[in-house]
C-alpha cells in the first residue's frame, strides 16, 4: 500500500506549512531518510525526508501552496501502484454530519418551488440547512431553495458549498497563470490535493515552462510583495510585541578602546584554536551572558503564573537572511568559554543563512541581541523578542571626541540600546544592568577572571 508523505507538525505552534520546493519529481526513486521536499514552517525552512524507500508515485501539493499540518503532500510506493482516490476526500467533505437527519420531501411538493418567488427580506429554511449554513459562514439569502414554497433544504446548502469549493479549487499560482494567459479552468480536472487545479493541469503548461509573471509582480510603478510565510509570521510577532508590551528604551555610550585591544590580544589564539575569526559580536555576547547571570531580572520571561527568572542564558541572535529576520538560539551561553561562544555562533549563523536550522534551534531564548553596527547605525529601538524581558541593540563603533581626564581626545565609542518590558523590569534595575554591562565592556579582561 502506498505510503503518505504528510505536512509535518514541526513545533506546537505550527498549524500550516508552505511547500518551498520539491527535491524529487514524480517517478523518481527515493531512499528512506532521503530529503524529498523543502517546506516553510512558522519559524524555519526544513526538509521533509522519505519515511520509506520506493517510487515517488504522485505529488499532490504544488510549490508555494500553504497547507494545514498532516495534509497529504505525496505518495511513495512501488512502481505502477495505484494511489488512493482523492475524490473520496472530497465526498467525505460534502457528506452531512451524522447527527443531522436528511430531509425527505415529497416529489410533487418540489415542483411547487419552481414557480415560487421568495419574498424579499424573508428566508424560509429548515433547521438543518440553517445549521449547515452557519457552520460554513454562508448567508442563506444567497441560496435558492428547492423545497415547498422555495424553502431552503440541507441539500441546497450542500450544493451551494460544493459550488463554492469548485470555484476555489485552484492554487493561487495556477489561478494567476490562467488569468494572465486567458485559460478557461471550468472544465479542468485538478490533480492536486482534494482535486485542486495546479499549474501542471493547465493546458500548455509543464514543469519546464517559464511562468508568465513573477511572485512579486510589477504593475505600473508598484510592486506587490505577498504578506505570507515568514514575512507574515514576522509581522504578527512584531505587532504582538509592539502593541502588547509597555516597552522602554535606554541608551548608554561605551568606550570600546579596551574591547578593541582585547580582541587584538586574543585574535590569533582564537584563530589557532578554533580556525575562526573572533568578532566584536562574539565578545559582546560573551560579556552580556555574564551580566545576565548577575541581573537575572533581565533574563526573565512573563507567564500566566508570574515572572520566571532563568538561571541560565539561552542567547538569541537576530540574523538577516535575504531580507528576512530569523532569530536562532544558542543555549547555555553562560557556561561557555569565549572560544566556545565563537564556534557556537559561527555555526548557528552559518546554518541559519543556509536554512538548515531545526525548529528547536529557534525556541527557548531568554535574551536577544540585535546588531546593526555593520550598517553604520548609531542608535535604534529594538523590539522585544517575546517572551524575553529585554533585547539589546548593538550599534556601530564610531570615533568621537570625548573627555578623558580633562583632555579632549578621539575615542572609539559605541551606543548600547536596551529595550525592556516595564511589566517585568523597572527603570532603575534596567539602568543598573546597563551600567554594569558598560563596566564589563570597558574592562573585558575581568570577565575571564
Alpha carbons 233 and 144: distance in angstroms, whole number:
40
Q: What residues have CB less than 8 Å from 59, skipping those under 6 apart?
A: 22, 25, 26, 73, 74
CA–CA gap between residue 407 and residue 350 (Å, rounded): 44
Asked about 310 being catalytic, the answer comes back as: no
Active-site option among 78, 142, 347, 426: 426
Strand, helix or coil for residue 413: strand
Distance of CA 15 to the CA centre of its chain: 10
3-class SS of residue 287:
helix
> Can you tell me the distance from the alpha carbon of 403 to that of 410, in angstroms, rounded to the nearest whole number?
9
Q: How far apart are CA 440 and CA 288, in angstroms?
A: 9
Q: CA 380, 381, 386, 392 torsion: positive or negative?
A: positive
Burial of 108 (0-12, 13-18, 19+ CB in 10 A): exposed
Catalytic residue list contains 99? no
Q: Which three cell numbers stand for residue 99?
A: 447527527
Q: In whole angstroms, how far apart are CA 287 and each of 130, 277, 291, 341, 386?
A: 64, 17, 7, 11, 22
What lies within 8 Å, CB to CB, of 180 at 6+ separation is: 212, 213
With CA atoms as reference, report the closest residue to 289 among 247, 254, 343, 337: 337
Residue tagged active-site, from 142, 268, 347, 422: 422
- The span from the CA of 250 to the CA of 398, in Å, is 19
Q: Which residues lie across from 251 on neighbouring strands?
A: 417
Angle at 155 between CA 149 and CA 156, to 5 degrees: 55
Catalytic residues: 422, 426
Amino acid at each position: 500500500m502506498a505510503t503518505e508523505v504528510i505536512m509535518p507538525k514541526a513545533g506546537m505552534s505550527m498549524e500550516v506549512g508552505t511547500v518551498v520546493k520539491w527535491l524529487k519529481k514524480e517517478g523518481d526513486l527515493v531512499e528512506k531518510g532521503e530529503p524529498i521536499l523543502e517546506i516553510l514552517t512558522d519559524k524555519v525552512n526544513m526538509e521533509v525526508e522519505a519515511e520509506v524507500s520506493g517510487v515517488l508515485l504522485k505529488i499532490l501539493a504544488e510549490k508555494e501552496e500553504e497547507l494545514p499540518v498532516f495534509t497529504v503532500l505525496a505518495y511513495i510506493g512501488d512502481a505502477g501502484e495505484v494511489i488512493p482516490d482523492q475524490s473520496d476526500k472530497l465526498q467525505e467533505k460534502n457528506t452531512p454530519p451524522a447527527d443531522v437527519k436528511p430531509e425527505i420531501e415529497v416529489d410533487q411538493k418540489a415542483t411547487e418551488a419552481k414557480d415560487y418567488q421568495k419574498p424579499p427580506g424573508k428566508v424560509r429554511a429548515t433547521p438543518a440547512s440553517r445549521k449547515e449554513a452557519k457552520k460554513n459562514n454562508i448567508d442563506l439569502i444567497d441560496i435558492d431553495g428547492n423545497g415547498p414554497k422555495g424553502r431552503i433544504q440541507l441539500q441546497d446548502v450542500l450544493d451551494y458549498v460544493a459550488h463554492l469549493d469548485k470555484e476555489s479549487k485552484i492554487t493561487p499560482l495556477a489561478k494567476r497563470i490562467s488569468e494572465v494567459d486567458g485559460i478557461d479552468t471550468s472544465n479542468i480536472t485538478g490533480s492536486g490535493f482534494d482535486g485542486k487545479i495546479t499549474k501542471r493541469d493547465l493546458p500548455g503548461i509543464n514543469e519546464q515552462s517559464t511562468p508568465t509573471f513573477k511572485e512579486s509582480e510589477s504593475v505600473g510603478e508598484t510592486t506587490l510583495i505577498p504578506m505570507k510565510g515568514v514575512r507574515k509570521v514576522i509581522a504578527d510577532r512584531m505587532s504582538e510585541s509592539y502593541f502588547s508590551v509597555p516597552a522602554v528604551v535606554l541608551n548608554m555610550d561605551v568606550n570600546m578602546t579596551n574591547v578593541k585591544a582585547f580582541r587584538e590580544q586574543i585574535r590569533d589564539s582564537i584563530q589557532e584554536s578554533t580556525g575562526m575569526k573572533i568578532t566584536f559580536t562574539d565578545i559582546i555576547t560573551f560579556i552580556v551572558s555574564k551580566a545576565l547571570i548577575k541581573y537575572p531580572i533581565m533574563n526573565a520571561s512573563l507567564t500566566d503564573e508570574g515572572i520566571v527568572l532563568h538561571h541560565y542564558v539561552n542567547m538569541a541572535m537576530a540574523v538577516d537572511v535575504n531580507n528576512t529576520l530569523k532569530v536562532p538560539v544558542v543555549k547555555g551561553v553562560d557556561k561557555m568559554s569565549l572560544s566556545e561562544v565563537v564556534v557556537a555562533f559561527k555555526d548557528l549563523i552559518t546554518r541559519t543563512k543556509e536554512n538548515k536550522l531545526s525548529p528547536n534551534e529557534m525556541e527557548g531564548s531568554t535574551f536577544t541581541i540585535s546588531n546593526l553596527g555593520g550598517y553604520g547605525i548609531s542608535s535604534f529601538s529594538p523590539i522585544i523578542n517575546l517572551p524575553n524581558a529585554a533585547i539589546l541593540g548593538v550599534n556601530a563603533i564610531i570615533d568621537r571626541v570625548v573627555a578623558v581626564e580633562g583632555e579632549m581626545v578621539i575615542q572609539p565609542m559605541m551606543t548600547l540600546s536596551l529595550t525592556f518590558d516595564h511589566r517585568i523590569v523597572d527603570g532603575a534595575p534596567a539602568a543598573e544592568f546597563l551600567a554594569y554591562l558598560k563596566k564589563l565592556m570597558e574592562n573585558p579582561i575581568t570577565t575571564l577572571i
